[in-house]
Structure 1
Amino acid sequence: MTSKERIRATIEHKPTDRIPSTMQCVETEWDNLKKHFGVETEEEVMDILEIDTRILDMPPYIGPENENYVNEDGEEVFTHPMGFRYVKKWNGVEYNMHIIHLPYDHIETWEDFEKFDGWLNPDHYDYNAVKEFCDRHEDKAIRIGWPGPYQVFTQMYDAEKFYINMYEKPDLIKAMLNRYCDASLELYERMFEAAGDRVDILRCCDDYGTQISLLFSPGMWDEFFAENTKRFVDLAHRHGAYYLQHSCGAIRPIIPNLIRLGVDVIEPIQKVTGMEVDGLKADFGKDLCFQGGVDTQGVLPLGTPDEVYEETVRVIRALSPGGGYILAPSQDFEGDVPVENVIALYEARKEFGGI
């Protein structure tokens, strides 16, 4: 099977020749892996580890140049193409992005909303790069996507204000979410068209859970996010792709809502209450494919390669019977994960034959 065939078959719960896999890393971990394998590119690392997906979250930005500057603390301030500004802070292992300016924050009234012109502009991206990306990876499963109905919105609008205004100004918040989603959907529509419908997965990032509970009640989730989630699902399906819902945290109470809307895959399956892999497979395995599940907070950074191997085998045994599992960690590989543990995770699938 090709990687594309393998990923598509497992999402449809059909037999595959081996466990399919995906992979994302922070920059520091990519550098660690390249050094370990003695290679120059991320592509070479993925080839060595037999990764089935290739990921292009967004097309390259080609819009007006975003101005950077140095603030009063001597830090360089960067402006993201989506409009938020950030500085980079060293955490002892790598640099993290700290957002310091949110472009939607001054939208307080309907008048502010009507006048605002800083929304994501789909015209500012290079869609020819999408075609070229697909051309380079014909036999791989192509995944696109980043902005979804919620999480990325909070990189443009203060989260505390957002939660308060869901109660105090619900109609304004819904209008803002809809306008933001309109632009994201248009961008993805153009990506699908440029790809010639060779995209396999649309993945949107929306962290609806904390490590102990949902951020919203299922009813509130339906009120504010269900309609736009359905729009993203329908867009993917219309172009022959699957819809993958990314959400960290304890999201079990809204999994039936996601199934009702046609979501095909959920990830990253953190090791939190309610997201135990055996229970997820038993209750939702016939309706969903799962991706992830190998804990990046505990065993991957802190365990031995043998412990990582054993935990990965446990997750695969729980989630892969009958298809419907894509091997991955529960988050991107961070820079504190030993290279040997990354290798152990992907070695573990070799214990399994055709599924």
Structure 2
Amino acid sequence: MGMTSKERVRAAFEHKTPDRVPCFLKGVDVAYGKLMKHFGVDSYEAVHDKMDIDVWNLWAPYIGPELPVQKTADGHDEFTHEFGYRYIMHWNGAEYNAHTTYYPLQETETIEQLDAWTWPNPDHFDYEAVARECGKHENRALRIGWPGVYQFVTNLVDAEKLYIDMATEPEYAQHLFDKMVEFELEYYGRMFEAADGRIDILCVCDDYGTQNGMLFSNDMWNQFFAKNTKRLADLAHRHGAFYLQHSCGAVRPIIGNLIDCGVDGLDPIQKVAGMEPEGLKADFGDQLCFHGGIDTQDLLPHGTPAAVTAEAERFIETLNKNGGYILGPSQDFEGDVPVENILALYAARRI
């Protein structure tokens, strides 16, 4: 008898050989729409069932006061996020992308002003929805998370000001990151409590790398992000979950730092220098579970199904030795990825 999805994913994180490589699916609405049409179904859940996907993402929806929507001068709907920033949705020819139009902490300069700002209220989220979703997906591995230590802050203040503050006002910048993580610890903590031991993965998103290298030196990464990464990893571990760090880009220089903070897995393994699967497995394969890796920038939108399957087989053969790998794309499937290439990626699970 084979493993359940939950057992399969947990085996991968524990570096035990699963009955087959576990997999996850993530994509923009347009990609899911194509898959629903292909399978003749009408929900994301049904797509996951049809494709035998092992991981299910869940969250606590916002249920606080109504958030305003207003019109920009050129006629776009400008939405307000529960964190106070505003954004418009821009169609890029394949799917919609959110563009931040207002940064609520852009003019903030002192720690006292940060403390006085109205931070998101953890009471404004529906944690009972987490328990309901857990009950609907008992056999799947369950994952929560999104905002991390750094990336979400760039919706509150633009990146240029943030980087200048990190260099010239480090105490202020650290307080900003700490305030963000204080909310996250409460928010994720309540989700864990609502799930009552059923969540398997906490995944937070912080893009510390570019396609050519790091955004920060190792010393600066340790200075601003190590403490809070460890706090979030400790939270996951207290609730019997694994901590999965998402970071795009060439982040090999900080992989050792992440391991020191208690990180259990790394996503998305973008196709950039230093993130080749052979080297990652050789140097870190006994300490990290690798998550993703099949290239969404060139291969999936432009390659043949045979080439996609061959690359997925390479990743499985390299990274799935003694567990330690969860198959999936290196980013969300975008609207320009053909359905046949999505299916070809998961066809590699036969090996």
Q: What is the TM-score with the length of structure 1 in the denominator?
A: 0.97
TM-superposed CA distance for 1:7, in Å, is 0.3
Matched, 1:212 2:212: yes
8 Å Cα contact 1:120/1:180 also seen in 2? no
Q: Secondary structure at the match of 2:57?
A: strand
Cα distance in 1, alignment partners of residues 231 and 120 from structure 2? 17
Q: Secondary structure at the match of 2:53?
A: coil
Aligned to 1:142: 142
Cα distance in 1, alignment partners of residues 269 and 116 from structure 2? 40
Matched, 1:109 2:110: yes
Aligned to 1:172: 172
TM-superposed CA distance for 1:35, in Å, is 0.6
User: Which stretch has the larger CA shift, 86-95 or 290-299?
Assistant: 86-95
Aligned to 1:23: 25
TM-superposed CA distance for 1:209, in Å, is 0.2
Aligned to 2:73: 72
Cα distance in 1, alignment partners of residues 112 and 18 from structure 2? 55
The one-letter amino acid of 1:289's match is C
Cα distance in 2, alignment partners of residues 290 and 110 from structure 1? 38
Aligned to 2:202: 202
Cα distance in 2, alignment partners of residues 123 and 99 from structure 1? 25
Cα distance in 2, alignment partners of residues 329 and 95 from structure 1? 19
Matched, 1:234 2:234: yes
Aligned to 1:192: 192
Aligned to 2:13: 11
Match of 2:36 among 34, 52, 55: 34
Matched, 1:267 2:267: yes
Q: Secondary structure at the match of 1:341?
A: helix
Aligned to 1:345: 345
1:151-190 Cα deviation digits (max 9, x unpaired):
1111111111000110111001101110111011100000
The one-letter amino acid of 2:191's match is M
Cα distance in 2, alignment partners of residues 149 and 301 from structure 1? 31
Q: Secondary structure at the match of 1:89?
A: strand
4+ residue stretches of structure 1 with deviation over 3 A? none
Q: Secondary structure at the match of 2:146?
A: coil
TM-superposed CA distance for 1:315, in Å, is 1.2
1:6-57 Cα deviation digits (max 9, x unpaired):
100111011211110001110000001111111111111111111001101x
The one-letter amino acid of 2:85's match is F
Cα distance in 2, alignment partners of residues 114 and 252 from structure 1? 35
Structure 1 unmatched ranges of 5 or more: none
Q: What is the TM-score with the length of structure 2 in the denominator?
A: 0.98
TM-superposed CA distance for 1:114, in Å, is 3.2
8 Å Cα contact 1:37/1:45 also seen in 2? yes
TM-superposed CA distance for 1:112, in Å, is 1.8
Structure 2 unmatched ranges of 5 or more: none
TM-superposed CA distance for 1:139, in Å, is 0.6
TM-superposed CA distance for 1:82, in Å, is 1.9
1:225-280 Cα deviation digits (max 9, x unpaired):
00000000000000000000000000000000011111000010000001011000
8 Å Cα contact 1:107/1:116 also seen in 2? no
Identity value in percent: 56
